[in-house]
């Protein structure tokens, strides 16, 4: 009996050893005749929106069925772990997650994915986050004051820190930015509304869903500064930013005081003077497993890879 | 006289306290019972809403959710108004069936070993290990699945000449679920095996049956109802597990998938995927999926209880 138990114990230790060996010992070289496994974020993700817009495959932003055999991950973290496990995988993550992820970030159209390249505009897998506000004539005096104070907060040291913490890439130096208390002291209108303790002022914010994370973080922090500020978020897409503030829907039920865009205003969206501006930049990186020899990817290649039913790494490298 | 009066007031006081305690307990019980009713009502109301209203999608299309389409179609694409659950239901039942049968087999034999075969000290150690396993939260199993089981499955598949998606597959889900179910099933089976009457076992041995014959024919047979109870709990855990499953399943877009090395999608992982940022119909439909899941769990429980009654 005892020998049997010893035998069983010994064999189970051996089995465990073999299993842990196989789970770590995947040091085989890269075989480019194998299929590319594509990974994507789920349809609610802003990174997905940015990525498919940039590579010119807009139909796939909301439609999973166009991405044949794709694997869906629901966060940057899951995406990183998935590509780490899959030598033949390709995916995309937010630029701020690349450092320390253990993955290889590909050059996009031969430009390296660095924040410097995003800021100087040469890295094309990025986009600008912008805002647009209502004309002051369309707002009450107090609404106007709150909106102006919010915009000022957004550009203050505190506001920039929040944007940075939500993965926004800043083009201005955060250390030289004015702090919000300095701004308040130098501007009487803002000072008055900050110290106002009257009825709350409802401010409707909307537009791009990609900017929603940054926008909600900013509003919840700004609420602490400005007690009358009552933000209502309804993010439905960049196209509603102009429509709700200065366009066709500005007096409808979906009117906005501040609209956010994850792109530039188009030629048909003409904003009045001093009602729109830039918030920050957003960078996305195409990532592959560290064993993958690929260094560069072009816009067309990225689209081809995501469109194809099955494509090998060899044919993608041609 | 005064002494007797004191006794009486004391007794009355105690009675009063008893009544108060009784009502406190009653209120707490009613509170608990109402919570269940409230949750079921909440899910039901939220889950049935999509059938009675229309939604405007981001591309401007106005859509209605159709119950018949939902249970007869296999295509799920929540942002394009495809809500076919049949494929996902098939995946869920397929995965649960395989993993629960494997877990049952391993658990019953483990319990038999701990209760009947192992020397006492080994039995005690193993019993503690199983209890420890049962208290590990599912996110840990998910991380373990992603970090250890996925690469393992990937390597096994490569050895067989199959390319997987980094090991995200039906097989990984099954392994993770088996690991999660084993402690639950084993613990309850141990308890029920320990209650098997000694006289039965001794009688069997006295009649000339060998030890293993006794173990399989007497011990397992007389703890059948306990084993099925354990099985019901295990299956419930497998059907309802969301976190760990969605971390290793790969959320395939096409289904049903019965291939062990391909990615899959279950009811729970569908509910989880992108939940934090979903709005509109994409959010509401998750409650409908929840109703389907509750119905499947209820159905399985009823079925297994029927089996239990028939056997015992």
DSSP characters over B29-83: HHHHHHHHHHHHHHHHHHHHHHHHSEEE-TTS-EEE--HHHHHH---EEGGGTEE
Q: Is the model's pLDDT at A253 over the cut of 90? A: no
- Give the helix ranges, DSSP H, for A70-211: 76-85, 115-119, 141-154, 157-165, 180-186, 188-195
How far apart (Å, rounded) are the C-alpha atoms in residues B305 and B292?
20
Lowest-pLDDT range of A6-10, A50-54, A113-117, B169-173: A6-10
Q: Compare all CA atoms of chain A with the CA of B280 and give the residue at the minimum distance.
A: A236
Res A2: pLDDT:
63
Chain A to chain B Cβ contacts (< 8 Å): 109
Q: So what's the pLDDT on residue A211?
A: 86
Q: What is the pLDDT of residue B58?
A: 66
CB atoms within 10 A of CB B234: 27
What pLDDT, on a 0 to 100 scale, did the predictor assign at position A44? 77
CA dihedral B305, B310, B311, B312 (to 10 degrees): 80
pLDDT category at A14 given cuts 50, 70, 90 is confident
The whole-model pTM stands at 0.79
Q: Which of B166, B252, B272 sits opposite A86 (nearest CB)?
A: B166
Q: What pLDDT, on a 0 to 100 scale, did the predictor assign at position B107?
A: 95
For residues B186 and B132, the answer to whether their CB atoms sit within 8 Å is no
Alpha-carbon gap, residue B255 to B258, rounded angstroms: 9
Query: Residue A15: is its pLDDT beyond 80?
Result: no
pLDDT higher than threshold 60 for residue A25: no
CA distances from B86 to A64, A72, B72 (A): 18, 19, 6
Q: Which helix (H) or strand (E) holds A253?
A: none
Mutation test of the interface with chain A: which of B121, B165, B246, B269, choosing the one with the most A Cβ atoms within 10 A? Answer: B165
Q: Is B93 on the interface with A (CB under 8 A)?
A: no
Q: Check: CB of residue B286 under 8 Å from CB of residue B305.
A: no
Q: Is B59 on the interface with A (CB under 8 A)?
A: yes
Q: What is the pLDDT of residue A18?
A: 66
Q: Please judge whether A71 and B252 are an interchain contact, meaning their C-beta atoms are less than 8 angstroms apart.
A: yes
Q: Is the pLDDT of residue A1 over 70?
A: no
Q: Which residues of chain B have pLDDT under 70?
A: 1-4, 58-60, 277
As a 3-state breakdown, chain B gives helix, strand, coil percent values, each rounded to 5, of 75, 5, 20
pLDDT of residue A59: 87
Closest-CA residue of chain A to B169: A71
Report chain A residues whose CB lies below 8 A from the CB of B146: 78, 81-82, 85
Which pLDDT score is estimated for A273? Answer: 84
pLDDT digits (tens, 9 = 90+) for A175-186: 888 888 888 888
**Which residues, 6+ apart, have CB-to-CB distance to B30 below 8 Å?**
none
- Interface contact flag, A85 B150, Cβ < 8 Å: yes
- Looking at the complex, does the CB of residue B252 fall below 8 Å from at least one CB of chain A? yes
CA distance B41 to A196: 43
Query: How far does chain B reach from its first CA to its final CA, in angstroms?
Result: 62
| Pairwise CB contact (< 8 Å): B166 & A85 | yes
Q: Name which residue leads in pLDDT, A79 or B81.
A: A79
Residue A255's SS3 state is: coil
**Which pLDDT score is estimated for A99?**
83
Query: B78, B72, B104: which is closest to B90 by C-alpha?
Result: B72
Nearest to A85 among B82, B167, B274 (CB): B167
Angle between helices A141-154 and A212-225 (to 10 degrees): 110
Chain B nearest CA to A86, separation (Å): 4
Mutation for testing the A interface, residue in B60, B63, B168, B280 having most A CBs under 10 Å? B168
How far, CA to CA in Å, does B304 sit from each of B156, B267, B311? 34, 21, 10
Contact B165 A86 (CB under 8 A): yes
Say what the ipTM of the complex is: 0.80
Taking the mean position of all CA atoms in its chain, how far away is CA A189? Answer: 33
| B58 close contact with A: CB closer than 8 A | yes
- Neighbouring CB atoms inside 10 A of A252's CB total 9
Chain B residues inside the 8 Å CB shell of A45: 274, 277
């Amino acid at each position: 009996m005892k020998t049997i138990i010893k035998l069983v114990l010994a064999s189970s230790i051996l089995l465990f050893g073999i299993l842990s060996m196989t789970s770590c010992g995947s040091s085989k070289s890269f075989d480019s005749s194998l299929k590319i496994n594509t990974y994507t974020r789920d349809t609610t993700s802003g990174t997905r929106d940015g990525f498919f817009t940039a590579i010119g495959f807009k139909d796939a932003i909301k439609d999973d069925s166009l991405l044949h055999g794709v694997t869906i991950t629901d966060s940057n973290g899951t995406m990183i772990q998935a590509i780490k496990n899959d030598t033949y995988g390709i995916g995309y993550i937010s630029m701020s997650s690349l450092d320390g992820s253990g993955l290889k970030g590909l050059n996009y159209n031969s430009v390296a994915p660095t924040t410097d390249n995003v800021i100087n505009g040469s890295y094309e897998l990025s986009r600008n986050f912008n805002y647009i506000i209502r004309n002051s004539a369309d707002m009450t005096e107090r609404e106007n004051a709150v909106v102006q104070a919010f915009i000022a907060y957004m550009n203050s040291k505190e506001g920039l820190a929040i944007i940075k913490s939500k993965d926004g890439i800043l083009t201005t130096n955060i250390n030289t930015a004015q702090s919000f208390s300095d701004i308040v002291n130098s501007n009487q209108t803002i000072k008055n509304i900050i110290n106002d303790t009257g009825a709350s002022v409802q401010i409707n914010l909307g537009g791009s869903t990609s900017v929603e994370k940054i926008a909600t973080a900013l509003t919840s922090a700004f609420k602490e500064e400005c007690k009358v500020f009552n933000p209502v978020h309804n993010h439905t897409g960049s196209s509603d930013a102009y429509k709700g503030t200065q366009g066709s829907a500005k007096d409808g039920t979906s009117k906005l005081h501040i609209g956010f865009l994850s792109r530039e205003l188009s030629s048909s969206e003409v904003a009045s003077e001093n009602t729109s501006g830039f918030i920050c930049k957003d960078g996305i990186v195409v990532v592959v497993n560290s064993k993958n020899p690929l260094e560069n990817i072009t816009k067309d290649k990225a689209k081809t890879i995501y469109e194809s039913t099955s494509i090998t790494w060899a044919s993608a490298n041609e | 006289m005064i002494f007797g009066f004191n006794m009486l007031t004391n007794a009355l006081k105690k009675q009063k306290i008893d009544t108060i305690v009784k009502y406190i307990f009653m209120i707490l019980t009613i509170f608990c019972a109402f919570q269940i009713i409230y949750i079921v009502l909440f899910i039901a109301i939220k889950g049935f809403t999509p059938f009675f209203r229309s939604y405007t999608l981001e591309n401007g299309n106005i859509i209605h959710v159709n119950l018949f389409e939902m249970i007869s179609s296999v295509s799920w694409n929540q942002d394009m108004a495809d809500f076919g659950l049949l494929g996902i239901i098939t995946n869920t039942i397929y995965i649960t069936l395989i993993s629960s049968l494997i877990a049952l087999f391993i658990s019953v034999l483990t319990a038999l070993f701990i209760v009947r075969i192992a020397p006492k000290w080994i039995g005690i150690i193993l019993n503690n290990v199983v209890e420890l396993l049962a208290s590990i939260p599912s996110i840990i199993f998910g991380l373990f699945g992603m970090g250890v089981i996925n690469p393992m499955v990937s390597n096994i598949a490569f050895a067989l000449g199959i390319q997987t998606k980094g090991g995200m597959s039906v097989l990984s889900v099954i392994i993770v679920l088996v690991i999660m179910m084993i402690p639950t099933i084993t613990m309850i089976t141990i308890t029920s095996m320990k209650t098997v009457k000694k006289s039965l076992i001794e009688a069997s041995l006295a009649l000339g049956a060998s030890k293993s014959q006794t173990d399989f024919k007497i011990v397992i047979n007389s703890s059948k109802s306990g084993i099925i109870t354990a099985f019901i709990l295990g299956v419930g855990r497998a059907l309802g597990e969301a976190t760990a499953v969605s971390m290793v399943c790969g959320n395939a877009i096409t289904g049903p998938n019965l291939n062990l090395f391909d990615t899959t999608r279950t009811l729970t992982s569908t509910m989880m995927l992108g939940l934090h940022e979903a709005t509109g119909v994409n959010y509401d439909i998750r409650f409908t999926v929840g109703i389907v899941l509750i119905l499947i769990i209820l159905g399985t429980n009823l079925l297994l209880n029927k089996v239990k009654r028939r056997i015992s």
